Amino acid sequence: MVSKKYMLLALFLPLLISGCTIPFIGPTFNSNTPEGTGVVIKDFGPDIQGDINSGEKVTFALRVKNTGSVTAEKGFAELIGLDYVWKAAGLRQSNLGELFPNENNCAYDIRNINLLPEDNEAGTTGEETVCTWTYTAPTVSPGIAITSTPRVRFYYTYHSTTIKTITMLSREELINLQNQGKGLPVESYTATKSPISLEIASASPVKIYGNQAEFPIIITIKNVGGGTVCYKESFNCKKPGGISENDNWNWFMLRINLPEGLTLDAASCAGDEKIYLVGSSPQTLSCKIIADVSKQVGISQKNIELAATYGYAIDKTISLNVVPSNMPGSSKK
Protein backbone atom coordinates (compact mmCIF):
# COMPACT_ATOMS: atom_id res chain seq x y z
CA MET A 1 0.00 0.00 0.00
CA VAL A 2 1.28 3.48 -0.85
CA SER A 3 1.88 5.58 2.26
CA LYS A 4 0.18 8.92 2.78
CA LYS A 5 3.60 10.62 2.61
CA TYR A 6 4.21 9.47 -0.96
CA MET A 7 0.62 10.15 -1.95
CA LEU A 8 1.04 13.78 -0.84
CA LEU A 9 4.40 14.05 -2.60
CA ALA A 10 2.84 12.87 -5.84
CA LEU A 11 0.06 15.43 -5.44
CA PHE A 12 2.43 18.38 -4.88
CA LEU A 13 5.12 17.58 -7.44
CA PRO A 14 3.21 19.36 -10.23
CA LEU A 15 3.14 22.51 -8.10
CA LEU A 16 6.86 22.98 -8.70
CA ILE A 17 5.93 24.30 -12.15
CA SER A 18 5.77 28.08 -11.67
CA GLY A 19 3.47 30.59 -13.24
CA CYS A 20 0.46 28.32 -13.77
CA THR A 21 -2.68 26.99 -12.13
CA ILE A 22 -2.60 23.28 -11.27
CA PRO A 23 -6.07 21.67 -11.12
CA PHE A 24 -6.95 18.79 -8.85
CA ILE A 25 -7.92 16.10 -11.33
CA GLY A 26 -10.95 14.15 -10.21
CA PRO A 27 -14.59 13.51 -10.96
CA THR A 28 -17.28 16.05 -10.21
CA PHE A 29 -20.49 14.97 -8.54
CA ASN A 30 -23.66 17.04 -8.81
CA SER A 31 -26.95 15.35 -8.03
CA ASN A 32 -29.11 18.19 -9.40
CA THR A 33 -32.02 16.88 -7.35
CA PRO A 34 -35.39 18.14 -8.64
CA GLU A 35 -37.66 19.96 -6.22
CA GLY A 36 -40.29 17.65 -4.77
CA THR A 37 -38.12 14.52 -4.68
CA GLY A 38 -36.83 14.58 -1.11
CA VAL A 39 -33.91 16.58 0.24
CA VAL A 40 -32.20 19.05 -2.10
CA ILE A 41 -28.91 20.92 -1.73
CA LYS A 42 -29.85 24.60 -1.83
CA ASP A 43 -26.39 26.12 -1.34
CA PHE A 44 -22.81 24.99 -0.86
CA GLY A 45 -19.68 27.13 -0.87
CA PRO A 46 -17.04 29.06 1.08
CA ASP A 47 -17.66 32.22 3.07
CA ILE A 48 -15.11 34.06 0.90
CA GLN A 49 -15.95 35.45 -2.52
CA GLY A 50 -13.37 35.11 -5.30
CA ASP A 51 -9.97 33.50 -4.89
CA ILE A 52 -8.74 32.32 -1.50
CA ASN A 53 -5.39 33.42 -0.13
CA SER A 54 -2.80 30.92 1.02
CA GLY A 55 -3.13 30.27 4.76
CA GLU A 56 -6.54 31.93 4.97
CA LYS A 57 -9.18 30.41 7.26
CA VAL A 58 -12.27 29.40 5.29
CA THR A 59 -15.67 28.15 6.44
CA PHE A 60 -17.66 26.04 3.99
CA ALA A 61 -21.43 25.99 4.46
CA LEU A 62 -24.00 23.51 3.20
CA ARG A 63 -27.73 24.29 3.24
CA VAL A 64 -30.22 21.53 2.57
CA LYS A 65 -34.02 21.51 2.46
CA ASN A 66 -36.63 18.77 2.54
CA THR A 67 -38.89 19.30 -0.48
CA GLY A 68 -40.57 15.90 -0.28
CA SER A 69 -43.65 14.78 1.61
CA VAL A 70 -41.95 12.55 4.20
CA THR A 71 -39.71 13.38 7.16
CA ALA A 72 -36.00 13.01 6.35
CA GLU A 73 -34.38 11.11 9.22
CA LYS A 74 -30.88 10.30 10.55
CA GLY A 75 -29.28 12.92 8.31
CA PHE A 76 -25.60 13.84 8.31
CA ALA A 77 -23.06 15.45 6.00
CA GLU A 78 -19.40 15.20 5.02
CA LEU A 79 -16.97 17.29 3.02
CA ILE A 80 -14.65 15.34 0.72
CA GLY A 81 -11.48 16.36 -1.10
CA LEU A 82 -9.71 18.76 1.28
CA ASP A 83 -8.32 16.72 4.18
CA TYR A 84 -4.98 15.76 2.57
CA VAL A 85 -4.07 19.26 1.39
CA TRP A 86 -5.98 21.77 3.50
CA LYS A 87 -5.47 22.01 7.26
CA ALA A 88 -8.43 21.21 9.50
CA ALA A 89 -9.35 24.22 11.63
CA GLY A 90 -12.53 22.75 13.10
CA LEU A 91 -12.84 21.36 16.60
CA ARG A 92 -13.45 17.67 15.96
CA GLN A 93 -11.89 15.04 13.70
CA SER A 94 -12.39 11.31 13.20
CA ASN A 95 -9.62 8.85 14.03
CA LEU A 96 -8.89 8.73 10.28
CA GLY A 97 -8.24 12.47 10.13
CA GLU A 98 -11.58 13.43 8.56
CA LEU A 99 -12.84 16.80 9.75
CA PHE A 100 -16.31 16.59 11.25
CA PRO A 101 -18.79 19.42 10.70
CA ASN A 102 -18.79 22.20 13.29
CA GLU A 103 -22.35 21.20 14.26
CA ASN A 104 -22.44 17.88 16.13
CA ASN A 105 -25.83 16.93 14.71
CA CYS A 106 -24.33 17.00 11.21
CA ALA A 107 -21.60 14.43 11.94
CA TYR A 108 -21.98 10.79 10.87
CA ASP A 109 -21.24 9.43 14.35
CA ILE A 110 -24.34 11.24 15.68
CA ARG A 111 -26.65 11.43 12.63
CA ASN A 112 -29.30 13.57 14.28
CA ILE A 113 -30.66 15.73 11.46
CA ASN A 114 -34.41 15.30 11.04
CA LEU A 115 -36.15 17.54 8.51
CA LEU A 116 -39.93 17.85 8.47
CA PRO A 117 -41.73 17.88 5.10
CA GLU A 118 -43.92 20.61 3.73
CA ASP A 119 -47.38 21.00 5.26
CA ASN A 120 -49.86 22.47 2.81
CA GLU A 121 -52.63 22.79 5.41
CA ALA A 122 -50.38 24.77 7.75
CA GLY A 123 -48.85 26.71 4.86
CA THR A 124 -45.27 25.73 5.73
CA THR A 125 -42.48 24.60 3.43
CA GLY A 126 -40.05 21.79 4.14
CA GLU A 127 -37.56 22.21 6.94
CA GLU A 128 -33.97 23.39 6.30
CA THR A 129 -30.66 22.99 8.09
CA VAL A 130 -27.05 24.17 7.69
CA CYS A 131 -23.78 22.28 8.22
CA THR A 132 -20.36 23.99 8.22
CA TRP A 133 -16.66 23.01 8.12
CA THR A 134 -13.67 25.24 8.86
CA TYR A 135 -10.30 24.77 7.13
CA THR A 136 -7.08 26.70 6.60
CA ALA A 137 -6.08 27.03 2.96
CA PRO A 138 -2.78 25.35 1.97
CA THR A 139 0.48 27.18 1.45
CA VAL A 140 1.34 27.90 -2.17
CA SER A 141 4.50 29.42 -3.63
CA PRO A 142 4.55 32.79 -5.41
CA GLY A 143 3.60 32.63 -9.07
CA ILE A 144 1.34 29.61 -8.90
CA ALA A 145 -2.19 28.76 -7.81
CA ILE A 146 -4.01 25.60 -6.81
CA THR A 147 -7.51 24.66 -7.95
CA SER A 148 -9.42 22.60 -5.39
CA THR A 149 -12.69 20.79 -6.06
CA PRO A 150 -14.32 20.04 -2.69
CA ARG A 151 -17.38 17.82 -2.79
CA VAL A 152 -20.11 17.84 -0.16
CA ARG A 153 -22.38 14.87 0.40
CA PHE A 154 -25.60 14.78 2.41
CA TYR A 155 -27.00 11.47 3.65
CA TYR A 156 -30.48 10.77 4.98
CA THR A 157 -33.06 8.04 5.53
CA TYR A 158 -36.32 8.35 3.60
CA HIS A 159 -39.51 6.49 2.81
CA SER A 160 -41.51 5.88 -0.36
CA THR A 161 -45.12 4.74 -0.32
CA THR A 162 -47.63 4.29 -3.13
CA ILE A 163 -51.24 3.09 -2.72
CA LYS A 164 -53.52 2.15 -5.60
CA THR A 165 -57.19 1.12 -5.38
CA ILE A 166 -58.38 -1.86 -7.39
CA THR A 167 -62.11 -2.38 -8.09
CA MET A 168 -63.41 -5.94 -8.45
CA LEU A 169 -66.85 -7.06 -9.62
CA SER A 170 -68.51 -9.78 -11.65
CA ARG A 171 -69.15 -9.47 -15.38
CA GLU A 172 -72.91 -9.41 -14.69
CA GLU A 173 -72.61 -6.52 -12.22
CA LEU A 174 -70.53 -4.56 -14.70
CA ILE A 175 -73.19 -5.03 -17.39
CA ASN A 176 -75.92 -3.94 -14.93
CA LEU A 177 -74.01 -0.75 -14.11
CA GLN A 178 -73.57 0.03 -17.77
CA ASN A 179 -77.24 -0.61 -18.51
CA GLN A 180 -78.25 1.73 -15.68
CA GLY A 181 -75.90 4.41 -16.92
CA LYS A 182 -73.90 4.33 -13.68
CA GLY A 183 -70.18 4.63 -13.33
CA LEU A 184 -67.74 2.62 -11.24
CA PRO A 185 -66.79 3.74 -7.72
CA VAL A 186 -64.00 6.31 -7.59
CA GLU A 187 -60.54 4.80 -7.28
CA SER A 188 -57.65 6.51 -5.52
CA TYR A 189 -53.93 6.66 -6.25
CA THR A 190 -51.53 8.27 -3.81
CA ALA A 191 -47.74 8.44 -3.77
CA THR A 192 -45.19 10.18 -1.59
CA LYS A 193 -42.84 12.79 -3.03
CA SER A 194 -39.60 10.90 -2.54
CA PRO A 195 -36.27 10.33 -4.33
CA ILE A 196 -37.33 6.76 -5.14
CA SER A 197 -40.54 6.68 -7.20
CA LEU A 198 -42.81 3.62 -6.93
CA GLU A 199 -45.54 3.27 -9.56
CA ILE A 200 -48.34 0.68 -9.86
CA ALA A 201 -50.16 -0.01 -13.10
CA SER A 202 -53.08 -2.43 -13.36
CA ALA A 203 -56.22 -2.80 -15.42
CA SER A 204 -59.29 -1.95 -13.38
CA PRO A 205 -61.98 -3.02 -12.82
CA VAL A 206 -61.02 -6.65 -12.37
CA LYS A 207 -63.75 -8.98 -13.67
CA ILE A 208 -64.55 -11.94 -11.46
CA TYR A 209 -65.30 -15.36 -12.86
CA GLY A 210 -66.33 -17.96 -10.26
CA ASN A 211 -64.76 -17.85 -6.80
CA GLN A 212 -61.32 -16.66 -7.81
CA ALA A 213 -59.82 -13.90 -9.88
CA GLU A 214 -56.30 -13.36 -11.12
CA PHE A 215 -54.83 -10.14 -12.42
CA PRO A 216 -51.35 -8.70 -13.04
CA ILE A 217 -49.81 -5.51 -11.72
CA ILE A 218 -46.80 -3.77 -13.21
CA ILE A 219 -44.47 -2.05 -10.72
CA THR A 220 -42.02 0.55 -12.00
CA ILE A 221 -39.22 1.78 -9.73
CA LYS A 222 -37.27 4.93 -10.61
CA ASN A 223 -34.47 6.87 -8.96
CA VAL A 224 -35.73 10.44 -9.52
CA GLY A 225 -33.65 12.20 -6.84
CA GLY A 226 -30.38 12.29 -8.76
CA GLY A 227 -28.45 10.60 -5.94
CA THR A 228 -27.54 7.12 -4.72
CA VAL A 229 -29.91 4.78 -2.90
CA CYS A 230 -28.52 2.56 -0.14
CA TYR A 231 -29.73 -0.39 1.88
CA LYS A 232 -32.04 0.36 4.80
CA GLU A 233 -30.65 3.62 6.26
CA SER A 234 -28.38 6.62 5.74
CA PHE A 235 -25.25 5.26 7.43
CA ASN A 236 -25.03 2.37 4.99
CA CYS A 237 -24.26 4.89 2.24
CA LYS A 238 -20.82 5.34 3.84
CA LYS A 239 -19.88 1.67 3.47
CA PRO A 240 -20.35 0.02 0.06
CA GLY A 241 -20.09 -3.54 1.42
CA GLY A 242 -21.32 -5.24 4.57
CA ILE A 243 -24.66 -6.90 3.87
CA SER A 244 -23.02 -9.16 1.32
CA GLU A 245 -20.26 -8.44 -1.18
CA ASN A 246 -20.31 -4.78 -2.20
CA ASP A 247 -24.06 -4.37 -2.04
CA ASN A 248 -24.92 -1.55 0.34
CA TRP A 249 -25.08 0.95 -2.52
CA ASN A 250 -27.66 0.91 -5.31
CA TRP A 251 -30.17 -1.47 -3.78
CA PHE A 252 -33.03 -1.51 -1.30
CA MET A 253 -35.93 -3.69 -0.20
CA LEU A 254 -39.40 -3.09 -1.63
CA ARG A 255 -42.42 -4.38 0.29
CA ILE A 256 -45.70 -5.24 -1.48
CA ASN A 257 -48.54 -5.06 1.06
CA LEU A 258 -51.85 -6.67 0.17
CA PRO A 259 -55.16 -6.61 2.09
CA GLU A 260 -57.11 -9.65 3.22
CA GLY A 261 -58.36 -11.67 0.29
CA LEU A 262 -55.44 -10.88 -2.03
CA THR A 263 -52.24 -12.92 -2.28
CA LEU A 264 -49.23 -12.84 -4.53
CA ASP A 265 -48.53 -15.73 -6.86
CA ALA A 266 -45.19 -16.86 -5.39
CA ALA A 267 -43.89 -17.76 -8.82
CA SER A 268 -44.04 -14.10 -9.84
CA CYS A 269 -43.21 -12.05 -6.73
CA ALA A 270 -42.32 -12.84 -3.12
CA GLY A 271 -43.64 -9.71 -1.40
CA ASP A 272 -40.23 -8.54 -0.19
CA GLU A 273 -38.29 -7.69 -3.33
CA LYS A 274 -34.59 -6.84 -3.55
CA ILE A 275 -34.35 -3.95 -6.02
CA TYR A 276 -31.07 -3.03 -7.70
CA LEU A 277 -31.18 0.56 -8.95
CA VAL A 278 -28.25 2.41 -10.51
CA GLY A 279 -28.53 5.96 -11.79
CA SER A 280 -31.76 6.85 -13.54
CA SER A 281 -32.35 3.47 -15.20
CA PRO A 282 -35.77 2.18 -14.02
CA GLN A 283 -36.56 -1.33 -12.85
CA THR A 284 -39.84 -3.09 -13.64
CA LEU A 285 -41.58 -5.96 -11.86
CA SER A 286 -44.56 -7.92 -13.10
CA CYS A 287 -46.54 -9.62 -10.32
CA LYS A 288 -49.64 -11.79 -10.47
CA ILE A 289 -52.24 -11.31 -7.73
CA ILE A 290 -54.76 -13.98 -6.81
CA ALA A 291 -58.03 -12.79 -5.27
CA ASP A 292 -60.26 -14.99 -3.14
CA VAL A 293 -63.75 -13.69 -3.94
CA SER A 294 -65.76 -16.60 -2.58
CA LYS A 295 -67.36 -14.31 0.04
CA GLN A 296 -67.69 -11.23 -2.10
CA VAL A 297 -71.11 -9.69 -2.59
CA GLY A 298 -71.49 -6.83 -5.06
CA ILE A 299 -68.57 -4.54 -5.79
CA SER A 300 -65.43 -4.52 -3.67
CA GLN A 301 -62.37 -2.28 -3.62
CA LYS A 302 -58.93 -3.25 -2.38
CA ASN A 303 -55.82 -1.16 -1.76
CA ILE A 304 -52.43 -2.36 -2.99
CA GLU A 305 -49.51 -0.70 -1.22
CA LEU A 306 -45.83 -0.42 -2.13
CA ALA A 307 -43.49 0.67 0.66
CA ALA A 308 -39.74 1.12 1.04
CA THR A 309 -37.33 2.58 3.59
CA TYR A 310 -33.78 3.31 2.46
CA GLY A 311 -30.73 5.49 2.79
CA TYR A 312 -30.04 8.16 0.20
CA ALA A 313 -27.02 10.35 -0.63
CA ILE A 314 -26.80 13.51 -2.74
CA ASP A 315 -23.68 15.42 -3.83
CA LYS A 316 -22.46 18.81 -5.00
CA THR A 317 -18.95 19.76 -6.19
CA ILE A 318 -17.50 23.26 -6.48
CA SER A 319 -14.23 24.62 -7.85
CA LEU A 320 -12.11 27.32 -6.24
CA ASN A 321 -8.59 28.79 -6.50
CA VAL A 322 -5.99 29.15 -3.76
CA VAL A 323 -3.44 31.87 -4.56
CA PRO A 324 -0.36 33.20 -2.71
CA SER A 325 -1.11 35.91 -0.19
CA ASN A 326 0.95 38.46 -2.12
CA MET A 327 -0.58 37.57 -5.51
CA PRO A 328 -3.49 39.63 -6.88
CA GLY A 329 -6.62 37.50 -6.95
CA SER A 330 -8.25 36.45 -10.15
CA SER A 331 -11.90 35.49 -10.62
CA LYS A 332 -13.07 32.20 -9.15
CA LYS A 333 -13.56 29.39 -11.61
* Model pLDDT for residues 215-231, shown as the tens digit of each residue: 999 999 999 999 999 99
Helix or strand or coil: residue 322?
strand
Reply yes or no on whether the pLDDT at 189 is more than 90: yes
15-157+314-323: CATH topology is Immunoglobulin-like (2.60.40)
Strands 145-148 vs 21-23: parallel, antiparallel or unpaired: parallel
How far apart, in whole angstroms, are the C-alpha atoms of residue 301 and residue 299? 7
- More confidently predicted of 14 and 248: 248
Q: Let me know if the fold of 15-157+314-323 is the same as that of 159-313.
A: yes
* Model pLDDT for residues 164-179, shown as the tens digit of each residue: 999 988 877 888 888 8
Mean pLDDT across the chain, nearest whole number? Answer: 85
Reply yes or no on whether the pLDDT at 22 is more than 90: no
* Model pLDDT for residues 238-248, shown as the tens digit of each residue: 876 545 545 68
H-only helix segments in the chain: 4-12, 171-179
Helix or strand or coil: residue 5?
helix
CA distances from 307 to 153, 196, 198, 203, 258 (A): 25, 10, 8, 21, 11
> pLDDT above 90 covers what percent of the chain?
62
Reply yes or no on whether the pLDDT at 15 is more than 50: no
Average pLDDT over residues 181-196: 89
* Model pLDDT for residues 267-282, shown as the tens digit of each residue: 999 999 999 998 888 9
159-313: CATH topology is Immunoglobulin-like (2.60.40)
- pLDDT score at 41: 98
- pLDDT score at 194: 98
* Count of positions (residues) in the chain: 333
- pLDDT score at 65: 98
pLDDT tier at 13, thresholds 50, 70, 90:
very low
CB 34 within 8 A of CB 224: yes
User: Taking the domains of the chain in order of start, what are their residue ranges?
Assistant: 15-157+314-323, 159-313
Average pLDDT over residues 150-159: 97
Is residue 316 within a helix (H) or strand (E), and if so which, with residue range?
A: strand 300-317
Residue 292: alpha-carbon gap to chain centroid: 38
Amino acid at 212: Q
**What's the per-residue H, E or C state across 144-160?**
CEEEECCEEEEEEEEEE
